[in-house]
């Protein structure tokens, strides 16, 4: 990862213990209040504090200013999922996919939301898409296993969990060690 000069200077000031200089640099490099980036940063802080409703409101304001801000859709979708608003999460993850059709996290997250909504066929399609884009995605195999189980396909679920376990997925290992698959 390469850093631009202001970021490198800020990191160096912090590392050397120059708190006053670091504060000045941080303020100088901060986006103007009210801009989409400043609102996004505030939304991230709210998300990290677990203030999901506040984060949703901030990410919504970002999207009012910049309707193509993928990370605002993605983060708002995560917040909706964490507050069990799965339909809203699906809408946000779908907005990301519409703008960036190869976005693995959007497919993974939307598939997980579909699982929560018991829309297992849609979940499986999303996890299939993840595996098309990334055939070694252990999480997609594990999650598709849950979708297959929910859809009444225990043999398919076990096949996916075994594939996920072979790739090192700890949850799949626990599932299989609990004799869910014979």
**Digits of tens for pLDDT over the chain (182 positions)?**
333 333 333 333 333 444 444 344 344 455 677 899 999 999 999 999 999 999 999 999 999 999 999 999 999 999 999 999 999 999 999 999 999 999 999 999 999 999 999 999 999 999 999 999 999 999 999 999 999 999 999 999 999 999 999 999 999 999 999 877 87
Using an 8 Å Cβ cutoff, are 52 and 39 in contact?
no
Q: Can you say whether the dihedral through the CA atoms of 79, 92, 56, 85 is positive or negative?
A: negative
* Domains within the chain, CATH numbers bracketed: 1-30 (no CATH), 33-99 (1.25.40.10), 102-182 (1.25.40.10)
Which residue bears the tokens 């809408």? 91
End-to-end CA, the chain: 46
pLDDT score recorded for residue 3: 37
46 three-state secondary structure:
helix
Q: What is the pTM of this model?
A: 0.81
In this structure, the chain runs to a length of 182
**Contact call for residues 165 and 173 (beta carbons, < 8 A):** yes
**Nearest residue to 91 via CA among 118, 109, 69:** 109
Distance from C-alpha of 49 to C-alpha of 32, rounded to nearest angstrom: 22
Secondary structure (3-state) at 1: coil
CA distance 122 to 171: 22
> What SS3 class is residue 4?
coil
Give the pair of three-digit tokens for residue 87. 């339909």
Residues 13 and 25: beta-carbon distance below 8 Å = yes
Q: What pLDDT, on the 0 to 100 scale, is given for residue 28?
A: 44
d(CA 46, CA 48): 5
The pLDDT of residue 179: 79
Q: Are 123 and 153 in contact (CB under 8 A)?
A: no
**In the prediction, which pLDDT does 33 show?**
74
- Looking up tokens 């996920």, which residue turns up? 164
């Amino acid at each position: 990862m390469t850093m631009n000069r202001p970021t490198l200077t800020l990191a160096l000031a912090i590392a050397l213990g120059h708190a006053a200089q670091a504060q000045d640099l941080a303020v100088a490099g901060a986006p103007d209040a009210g801009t989409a980036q400043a609102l996004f940063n505030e939304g991230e802080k709210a998300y990290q504090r677990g203030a999901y409703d506040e984060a949703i409101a901030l990410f919504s304001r970002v999207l009012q200013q910049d309707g193509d801000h993928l990370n605002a859709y993605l983060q708002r979708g995560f917040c909706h999922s964490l507050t069990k608003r799965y339909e809203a999460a699906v809408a946000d993850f779908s907005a990301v996919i519409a703008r960036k059709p190869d976005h693995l996290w959007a497919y993974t997250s939307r598939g997980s939301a579909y699982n929560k909504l018991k829309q297992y066929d849609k979940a499986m399609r999303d996890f299939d898409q993840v595996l098309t884009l990334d055939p070694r995605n252990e999480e997609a195999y594990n999650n598709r296993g849950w979708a297959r189980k929910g859809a009444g396909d225990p043999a398919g679920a076990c096949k996916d969990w075994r594939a996920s376990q072979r790739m090192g997925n700890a949850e799949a290992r626990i599932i299989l060690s609990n004799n869910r698959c014979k």
